Amino acid sequence: MTTARLLLLLVLAPPAVYALYRLFVWWGSRVILRSFRRTPRRVRREFGYSGPEDFQLAYEPLAIETAPGITLHGFLFRTTAPRRGVLVHLHGIWDSCRPRLPLAARM
């Protein structure tokens, strides 16, 4: 390798490597934190159901305000059986609790 090529490689390689690193960091954070969102329509297409009514579950809409402007939405299922505790099921970021409705139907 000639001296000119080696010098060119040493000058251009670090910015190119840094640009690739930044691209992967940017892309990775988007995939982890803002992956696809499971809307009721997407859940119906993927799983064949979209809500508790598809399992004939009696429920009440639930909204819990955790901080000013941040509200968690979900379903409150009540039972007629003797209480043995409370089960709280939360989902991940940008996900939906709807894919786990069969678990609620079993309980």
pLDDT at 92: 61
pLDDT at 36: 61
pLDDT one digit per residue (tens) for the chain, 107 residues: 678 777 777 777 777 777 777 777 766 666 665 556 677 787 788 888 878 888 888 888 888 888 888 888 888 888 778 887 777 766 666 667 777 788 777 77
pLDDT at 85: 76
CA 57 – CA 74 distance, rounded (Å):
14
CA 2 – CA 59 distance, rounded (Å):
75
pLDDT at 28: 67
